[in-house]
């Protein structure tokens, strides 16, 4: 088994953080996105979509998509459960993982990819107006999480889950977009300090 | 239990199709999106994001996000399995459901929301250039599925799964975007004819 990984990019970090929470070590192969290694023929054979992460199993099966890779590790290594146990927990974690992704993570990537000069060769065409249109969506996504975290310690409820991992990787990726969590979102800031202090956050 | 549903919109259809495949009947409440009923205060209390579908359980718990609602029904009513059984099946279905969503469903919604005159009050601001930029993404997403379906009967492999439901609801929603599956994508057209013939497709 080996994991194709990239530094700084938020999606590979989701998987590294998930593995750290599970206490699983997997051999890593670093793919340098800045050097466009993900566009080379050798990596395109691993993932035709030319993105990281990707997990290659010993029998040659390749899994892509961060959450699919995490779900595989959840199935073969169930403890600690990061996708929930009961039907309600599983549904709430799925719901909040998707909200963290669709309402926050994706708008952040659109701001970054459509406004950052360094992304001009990665996102063609760059559409500045679309990047700007995503800034209020990011603030709305942050507010949604802040409201949830007023009632619960973690994004999806009482327990740390993959929804916290998605939200943390999204928020930490706001740095290159120059958006900050507003000071008045005190519940989100409380949560961010707590999850950032977990050893897995260094992954 | 009741399900807040809307006609014509692709996300509520995903849940209806999922329930039809499971043989589950749930009381429905129709929310009229064209009449902006989803923006009214009474529905905003159900889902602050003002979107359908939403599932209200008998104890008042509300689940939103189509896939989270489907996952709840999978947990309480496991047969037939639509999210996979083995770790590899579960991961492959997660991977392909996400690919169908991220590479096809979402680009289709961007084309629709940013180019259709009827969406001007729903998507503010409408950015025509972004709508146009998503047309080649839609074709690339269709090609990705066509390649997969050259090797397998269904999107995620040997068995019908939620990935087929997502892909079918996405493709059928291409009609208002005026994009058609290209004639040369014969595997995708074969699959589309087959899944459209299942009784659940009428949901």
Do residue B13 and residue B98 come from a single domain?
A: no
B29 is written with which tokens?
A: 């409440």
Contact (CB, 8 A) for B38 and B50? yes
Do residue A55 and residue A100 come from a single domain?
A: no
Do residue B96 and residue B184 come from a single domain?
A: yes
For residue A157, list its beta bridge partners.
A154
| Structural domain boundaries enclosing A115 | 87-202
Please give the share of chain A, as a percent, with pLDDT higher than 70.
Answer: 100
What is the pTM for the complete model shown? Answer: 0.97
* Domain membership flag for residue A81: no
* Domain membership flag for residue A180: yes
* Domain membership flag for residue B82: no
Please give the share of chain B, as a percent, with pLDDT higher than 90.
Answer: 96
Q: What is the pLDDT of residue B176?
A: 86
Q: Which residues of A touch B68 (CB under 8 A)?
A: 91-92, 94-95, 98
Nearest to A130 by CA among B29, B105, B128, B184: B128
Each residue of A120-135: pLDDT tens digit? 988 999 999 999 999 9
Last-in-domain residue among B25, B52, B76: B76
Query: What is the rounded distance in angstroms from the CA atom of residue A148 to the CA atom of residue B48?
Result: 11
Residues of A with CB under 8 A from a CB of B: 48-49, 61, 63-65, 67-69, 71-72, 75-76, 86-88, 90-92, 94-95, 98-99, 102-103, 125, 127, 129-130, 133, 144, 147
Q: What is the pLDDT of residue A69?
A: 98
Q: Which residues of B touch A67 (CB under 8 A)?
A: 94, 98
* Domain membership flag for residue B172: yes
Q: What is the pLDDT of residue A83?
A: 98
Do residue A58 and residue A126 come from a single domain?
A: no
* Domain membership flag for residue B47: yes
Do residue A41 and residue A106 come from a single domain?
A: no
Q: Which residues of A touch B90 (CB under 8 A)?
A: 71-72, 75
Q: What is the pLDDT of residue A200?
A: 97
Helix (H) or strand (E) holding B55: strand B54-56
Helix crossing, B87-99 with B162-172: angle to 10°? 10
A172 is written with which tokens?
A: 């930490």
Neighbours of A23 (CB within 10 A): 10
pLDDT above 90: residue A176: no
**Residue A10: CATH number of its domain:** 3.40.30.10
Do residue B176 and residue B133 come from a single domain?
A: yes
Among B84, B95, B158, the strongest candidate for a mutation testing the A interface, having the largest count of A CBs within 10 A, is B95
Query: What is the rounded distance in angstroms from the CA atom of residue B145 to the CA atom of residue B164?
Result: 10
Query: What is the rounded distance in angstroms from the CA atom of residue B14 to the CA atom of residue B21?
Result: 11
Among A18, A59, A65, the strongest candidate for a mutation testing the B interface, having the largest count of B CBs within 10 A, is A65
Each residue of B143-155: pLDDT tens digit? 999 999 999 999 9
* Domain membership flag for residue A82: no
Do residue B191 and residue B95 come from a single domain?
A: yes
B20 is written with which tokens?
A: 């039809």
Do residue B95 and residue B67 come from a single domain?
A: no
Query: What is the rounded distance in angstroms from the CA atom of residue B101 to the CA atom of residue B110?
Result: 12
Interval B39-50 mean pLDDT: 93
Q: Which residues of B touch A48 (CB under 8 A)?
A: 144, 147
Q: For residue A157, which phi and psi values (nearest 5 degrees)?
A: 135, -135
Average pLDDT across chain B, whole number: 96
Q: Which residues of A touch B87 (CB under 8 A)?
A: 72, 75-76
Map B3-52 to HEC letters.
Answer: EEECCCCHHHHHHHHHHHHHCCCCCEEECCCCCCHHHCHHHHHHCCCCCC
Quick check: B65 and A127 CB within 8 A?
Answer: no
pLDDT above 90: residue A44: yes
B123 is written with which tokens?
A: 């998507």
Our count of domains for chain B comes to 2
* Residues listed for chain B: 203
């Amino acid at each position: 088994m080996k994991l194709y990984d990239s530094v700084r990019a938020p999606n590979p970090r989701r998987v590294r953080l998930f593995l750290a929470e599970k206490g699983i070590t997997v051999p890593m192969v670093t793919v340098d996105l800045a050097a466009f290694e993900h566009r080379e023929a050798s990596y395109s054979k691993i993932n035709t979509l030319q993105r990281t992460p990707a997990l290659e199993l010993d029998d040659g099966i390749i899994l892509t998509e961060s959450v699919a890779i995490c779900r595989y590790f959840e199935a073969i290594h169930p403890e600690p459960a990061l996708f929930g146990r009961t039907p309600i927990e599983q549904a709430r974690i799925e719901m909040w993982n998707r909200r963290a992704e669709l309402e926050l993570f994706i708008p952040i990537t659109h701001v970054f990819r459509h406004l950052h000069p360094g992304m001009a060769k990665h996102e063609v065409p760059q559409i500045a107006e679309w990047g700007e249109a995503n800034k209020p969506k990011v603030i709305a996504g942050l507010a949604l999480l802040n409201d949830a975290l007023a009632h619960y310690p973690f994004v999806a409820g009482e327990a740390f889950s993959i929804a916290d991992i998605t939200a943390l990787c999204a928020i930490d990726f706001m740095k290159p977009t120059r958006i900050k969590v507003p000071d008045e979102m005190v519940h989100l800031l409380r949560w961010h300090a707590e999850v950032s202090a977990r050893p897995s956050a260094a992954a």
